A and B are shown apart, each in its own frame.
Chain A
Amino acid sequence: MATAELNNLKLKAEDVKLNEAFPEAVSVETRKGYSGYTVKPENLVEVATALRDRYNFKFLSSATPVHYLEQGQMEMVYHFYNLDAGGGAIVLHAQTSHDAPTIPSLTPLFPGADFQEREAWDLYGIKFPGHPNLKRILMWEGFNGHPMRKDWKEAYYEQDGKPYDTRWPGGQVHRVEDKNPFGNNVAYPDGFTLEGWSEQAERGLYEAMPVDGKGVTIEGMQTDLVTVNLGPQHPSTHGVLRLIVTLDGETIVKLEPVMGYLHRNHEKIGERNTFIQNIPFTDRLDYLTPMANNHGYVMAVEKLMGAKVPERAEYLRVIMDEFTRVASHLWWIGFFLNDLGAFFTPALYMMTEREMILDVFEATAGSRMMVNYMRFGGVARDLPPGALETLKELAFERLPRKIDEIEAYLTDNEIVRSRCIGVAAMSADEAIAYSVSGPILRAAGVRHDIRKAEPYGIYDRFDFEIPVGQTGDLFDRYKVRVFEARQSVKILQQALTQLPEGEILSGKQQYQARVPAGEAYGRIESPKGELGFYVVSNGKPNPYRYHVRAPGFINLTSLGKACQGWKVADVVAILGSVDIVLGEVDR
């Protein structure tokens, strides 16, 4: 490797002057409150290639559109990271007209952009020439329009932003379905009837699968490839994911996830909501880690507001985040064992521990699952009397003991080892190319954890380690999660001991947050991976753009590749090892 390249390995975003390297194609972003660069779409591929190969910004974390209706523009926003150097992102904005928007695809360079570009096509109607498989991903083929565009209105549309005039100050509560001619949440294009119309929703799903080619060779027998469907109603798809698999005997030839069965229009609703109304909605993204979701979102908005968070609140956030991580990893271990065939017994043990943690969440935030706990500039409630003792008991006594117990039963278990070791190994380069994050990225040998790479809150104060695996196989993923749970306990022990007295919210409780115009990207290391919130404000009470970079969704991009060549029974285990929650995958 040449010396110049070696130096580049550690380049921070600030050190890269893209506008100097590409004076024709790239200019520094000048809009107030925005950062990064603007790239001409025709040069995007060239610039991205340079970022990847010359500057070592190999990790395309997020690619998301914004529709600027007044300007008549559609914009793609890309966040690139250098995982070796850590630190912030290089942000690229590529703009195109919103009538028939077209932007070259980055999928050939960064396979991790695959699903994100499909989502941009599905919801915004942006075409990506060069994308190998550009079809809808969350909605179905044949759906009328691209629903996230600002000029697209849903059947129950009332007004662009909440609070709706009819409700406040008007106070007229009504049932929206009473105003809809069909009495339901539907709207059809003018003149639509069923006559002469044919369904296309399933079209394209099976066509993409290989049909010809010889099957397994068995002497004296002719075999074919078969394509089968798994889900969306299936106990081991962790919700409503659907997989379409082409098999050669028992071996996977091709696998494609089909999603959107829990697409709840989180982002569209989020853009109608006020900033503060979105906090409880984030709970429902990854419903096993609501605290972490809250944290990511309030951080993004705090960046825009420039809000300060009091010490005690920072500690409470860390405490809640880390308990969430332990709960989430325990849950995962239980259900992963389920996927391996140990039906429910391990899960029952894990859930018992999770219940202990949920009890404290309930006592503190008022709800077991949907905590709605964090606020811009702090947290909503302080710990109730007695909670600190319970938490300490958990962090110092109970959880360490339980994690030991898990390891004693599982880590050396012969069946676990033989089902996991060597299965679906993933190299570091591959994991980075697929934009995989979280435990499965670390299992592949990349020492990257946002708590260390770009510390947020007060994470730089704690002493903890980042586990990495060597091969990225299922066993490494399991071990990384167990190790991480231990490290979380270690952080908890420090945080609970140091927890200072004081305020928990800066300023007073507000019903309306004043958010200056601009863009912000807040990302945290959620138990599932990099959870990012991209928020654009135009100074109004509602976010202009609200995007969730969901780790589960992007981690799934690698699933098809990871399953290739493995057996049917492994698919369930490989899928389980990704640790998806459909609320977040489909949003």
Chain B
Amino acid sequence: MSSIAKELANPDIKVPAEIENNLIVTSIDKIYNWSRRNSMWPMLFGLACCAIEMICTAAARYDLSRFGMEVMRPSARQADLMIVSGTVTKKMVPQIVRLYNQMPEPKYVMAMGACASGGGPFKDGYNVVSGIDKFLPVDVYVPGCPPTPQALLHGLITLQKKIDGQSIRTVRWYQPGAEEPIPVPILGPDLIDPRQATLLRQRAAEQAALAEQAALSPAEPPAAG
């Protein structure tokens, strides 16, 4: 029995020895996940320093193609995996969300490095988003600044394991009803997450009320904030 067959075959079902080499009995989930995990095409898309390590991982020495992941697609439409490799800035995040929305399902997101995972060394910068998970559902976080190629490979293998555990009955993209795209952030006076529009309105109302109060009672010192 080939190793692939061993990996896939359902041990409970006996296949007659004479057709053992030609027939594998397996479950839909298994074969689906197996093909998915071994042809994970990342998007060719680098953001910052981490992208350099991503390129190195794809190059001769670390050789991503051992895992069936070397086919980097420049187009989001052909990619399965978005490796967010670097600092997510406010100016860039609308584009990243748009790219994610353009990826066909099934799709996965990996946050590579400290920046993509949580803002990293630049977290308190005025143009930095504290982690891509503020906007996209992240499947695997890879720590490091930058993660070494080995760490990235480990992250990718972890993603493969995660895929192994999925079932097409429960994954979110096969649920009834179309999945909503993620609302694209807006570049206003600061970055605006459209999902927070209500919160924005609430705060504006609170502030207006405070200002009104202050105007009504001029003797009082103005409310702080």
Q: Which A residues contact B (CB, under 8 angstroms)?
A: 138-140, 142-144, 147, 154-158, 176-177, 181-195, 197, 199, 201, 232-235, 239-240, 260-266, 268-269, 272, 280-281, 284, 287-288, 347-348, 351-352, 355, 368-370, 582-583
Contact = CB atoms under 8 A, between A and B. Distances in A.
14 contacts: A142-B189, A144-B190, A176-B123, A185-B130, A191-B208, A193-B204, A233-B99, A263-B127, A264-B89, A266-B122, A284-B48, A288-B52, A352-B60, A369-B146
* 4 smallest beta-carbon distances between A and B, as pairs: A265-B125, A144-B189, A287-B49, A201-B187
A139 B191 contact: no
Interface stretch (B22-30, B154-162, B169-177, B194-202): B194-202
B62 to A, nearest CB: 9
Interface footprint category on B: 35 or more
Contact of B53 (A156, A280, A369, A583): A369
Contacts of A193: 197, 200-201, 204
Nearest to A140: B187
B203 interface: yes
A265 B187 CA distance: 17
A194 B187 contact: no
B201 A287 contact: no
A188 B203 CA distance: 10
B146 A143 contact: no
A184 B193 contact: yes
A261 B197 contact: no
Contacts of A351: 55-56, 59-61
Contacts of A281: 121
A261 B124 contact: no
Nearest to A258: B91
Interface of B: 44-49, 51-53, 55-56, 59-61, 74, 86-87, 89-92, 95, 99, 119, 121-130, 134, 145-146, 148, 186-194, 196-197, 199-201, 203-204, 207-208, 211
Given A144-B189, A352-B59, 15 more contacts: A139-B127, A155-B126, A182-B199, A185-B90, A185-B123, A233-B45, A240-B47, A264-B122, A268-B125, A269-B122, A284-B49, A287-B48, A348-B59, A351-B61, A370-B49
Given A192-B200, A260-B91, A269-B125, A143 B49 contact: no
B41 to A, nearest CB: 14
A188 B199 CA distance: 12
Contacts of A181: 199, 203
Contact of B52 (A144, A185, A190, A369): A369
A156 B193 CA distance: 17
A265 B128 contact: yes
A239 B60 contact: no
Contacts of A199: 186-188
Contact of B89 (A189, A234, A262): A262
B56 A355 contact: yes
Nearest to B49: A287
B186 A262 contact: no
Q: Which of B90, B119, B207 has the most CB of A within 10 A?
A: B90
Contacts of B55: 351
A400 B99 CA distance: 43
